[in-house]
Amino acid sequence: MDNILITHDKLWDGAKEILRGSLPGHAFNTWFEPINPIAVTDEELILEVPSQFFFEWIETHYTGLIEKTLCEKLQANLRVKYTVSPDGGSASTDITGAPVIARPRPTHEPPQLNKRYTFTSFIEGNNNQFARAAGTSVAEEPGQPNYNPLVIYGGVGLGKTHLMHAIGNHLHQTKPDLRVICCTSEKFTMDFISAIQKSKTVEFSRKYRSAHVLLIDDIQFFQNKEQTQEQFFHTFNELYQAGRQIVLTADRYPGEMSGLQDRLLSRFKSGLAVDIQPPDFEVRVAILLEKAEQNGLSLPYEIVEFMATHIKNNIRELESTIIRILAHSSLTNREIDMAMVKQAVKDRLGKQFMSELTIEDIIGRVAEATNNREEDLVSASRKKPLVEARQVAIFLCREILGTPLVEIGLHFGGRDHTTILHACRNIKARSKKEPRIRQLVKKLRQELTFPLT
């Protein structure tokens, strides 16, 4: 094939058609659909990928396959080179530093925003409804006194950064004349230290105080950094007095922070503070479905339900588990099934899962497996099938959780420790002699401790 006579678009389209037939659908959609061909020479095909992580993954796992496809199937003996797509308007640069394609620059430097974090991709639920409404209001009309500053607080991985970047992205799209500056508290601190070292504190102040909208992530890391707090205090004051919008995120309500100057805390509390709570089950399911769709995955509902049931407190954990499953599927060339998902969730949670399992969880699962009601398992009834199910539940509470006998007795209708001990010994003995009991205990133990098969 004469490389000069074929465009980079046609060459890549041909390669994609061949790769589509040799890879699982979800792997192709995730790792090849986002790639854009940039140029072709006598020696190289240059491809643009969306991020540095994407480049590292595709370069490590698929470059050989792409080059083999080009050579053997399309008779194009080319090396593949990558360029990472820029966030904003600067020239795209490949990994050697050579410019590949130029783009017009906007009026202001593009803010350091994650383009994937938008209001559209932010899953709303009861846990974050107020915070999202406040964020939307700020994005539509920045600088409102009642919303300035806006402080979004909550635990790790709940969507605070997503919401802050959504505000910035909306403003950057709808009000391009506004100068939006987005950074972490650590970046602000390092910029300040660098300015001191290079005697450029005036330039530093001018940069941050020229913002129409200032977005600072994780302000708790200003704790015990006295000079940085002093600098931020004056930056905050100047922007606030000029009616400029300030949005901050934190891991807790500002009034509960220590190591910050009182006057700074007073400024943080002068506007609106909104919290984001852990998502409930329905929101977790919606998040998983959204993330799966973004990655080109079609997951059965039972798999989504399993993940949403066990990963409860952290949206970031939900996202990373999807990525782990996708990566494992791509590497092993296997379709995604429940066994793979259970392994990924177990790897992600580790011992945390065992700490979250409760006696109530075990009672509920045993009741379901033996067609009994949970309230009957802890009642005084002496019906034989019920007694057996109750003893199995008691045995599993002791074996899996190691719960003290007295505590187990309290959960099972106030039974004394000798009754609990008898139940444990009885089921252990019957498991050795009776296949039915052995299989029931084995099945329940596997389900409660993440079976891999």
Check which CATH number belongs to the domain holding 69 and give it: 3.30.300.180
Q: Which long-range contacts (CB under 8 A, 24 or more apart) does 96-104 make?
A: 100/38, 100/39, 100/46, 100/48, 101/38, 101/39
**358 to 298, 305, 314, 346, 362: CA distances (angstroms):** 32, 19, 19, 17, 7
3-state secondary structure at position 135: helix
Q: What is the pLDDT of residues 130-173, one digit of tens each?
A: 999 999 999 999 988 889 899 999 888 888 999 999 999 999 88
Q: 430 and 404, same structural domain?
A: yes
How confident is residue 452, by pLDDT bands cut at 50, 70 and 90?
A: very low
Answer with the residue of higher pLDDT: 370 or 51. Answer: 370
Domain count, the chain: 4
Boundary of a domain, candidates 221, 242, 276: 276
The average confidence (pLDDT) of the chain is 82
**Class of residue 208 by CB neighbours under 10 A (exposed 0-12, middle 13-18, buried 19+):** buried
Q: What is the pLDDT of residues 204-254, one digit of tens each?
A: 888 999 899 999 999 988 888 889 899 999 999 999 988 999 999 998 888
Residue 306 confidence (pLDDT): 80
How confident is residue 267, by pLDDT bands cut at 50, 70 and 90?
A: confident
Share of the chain above pLDDT 70, in %: 89
Structural domain that includes position 144: 129-276
Judge whether 112 lies within some domain: no
**Class of residue 337 by CB neighbours under 10 A (exposed 0-12, middle 13-18, buried 19+):** exposed
Q: 141 and 258, same structural domain?
A: yes
Residue 133 confidence (pLDDT): 94
Judge whether 409 lies within some domain: yes
CATH number of the domain at 260, please: 3.40.50.300
Q: 434 and 405, same structural domain?
A: yes
With a CB cutoff of 8 Å and minimum separation 6, the contacts of 446 are none
Pair of tokens at residue 251: 């891991």
Q: 390 and 351, same structural domain?
A: no
Boundary of a domain, candidates 329, 355, 381: 355
Residue 451 confidence (pLDDT): 45
∠ CA 160-165-167, rounded to 5°: 100
Q: 315 and 237, same structural domain?
A: no
Q: What is the pLDDT of residues 3-45, one digit of tens each?
A: 445 788 888 888 888 888 888 776 777 788 888 888 888 788 8
Judge whether 53 lies within some domain: yes
**53 to 56, 312, 323, 333, 423: CA distances (angstroms):** 5, 26, 12, 20, 54
- The mean-pLDDT minimum among 190-194, 198-202, 349-353 falls in 349-353
Residue 104 confidence (pLDDT): 40
Judge whether 416 lies within some domain: yes
3-state secondary structure at position 249: strand
Q: 94 and 184, same structural domain?
A: no
Q: 248 and 133, same structural domain?
A: yes
Q: 337 and 269, same structural domain?
A: no
Q: 253 and 158, same structural domain?
A: yes
How confident is residue 450, by pLDDT bands cut at 50, 70 and 90?
A: low
Closest-CA residue to 193 (of 226, 236, 239): 226
How confident is residue 288, by pLDDT bands cut at 50, 70 and 90?
A: confident
Q: 85 and 143, same structural domain?
A: no
Q: 254 and 134, same structural domain?
A: yes
Residue 274 parent element (H or E) = strand 272-276
Judge whether 58 lies within some domain: yes
How confident is residue 356, by pLDDT bands cut at 50, 70 and 90?
A: low
Q: How many Cα atoms sit within 13 Å of 396 on the Cβ side?
A: 30
User: Between β-strands 92-94 and 44-49, what pairing exists: parallel, antiparallel or unpaired?
Assistant: unpaired
- Give me the mean pLDDT over the 267-287 stretch: 85
Judge whether 311 lies within some domain: yes
Answer with the residue of higher pLDDT: 339 or 295. Answer: 339
Judge whether 162 lies within some domain: yes
Residue 422 confidence (pLDDT): 93
Q: 258 and 183, same structural domain?
A: yes
- Give me the mean pLDDT over the 394-413 stretch: 87
Judge whether 348 lies within some domain: yes
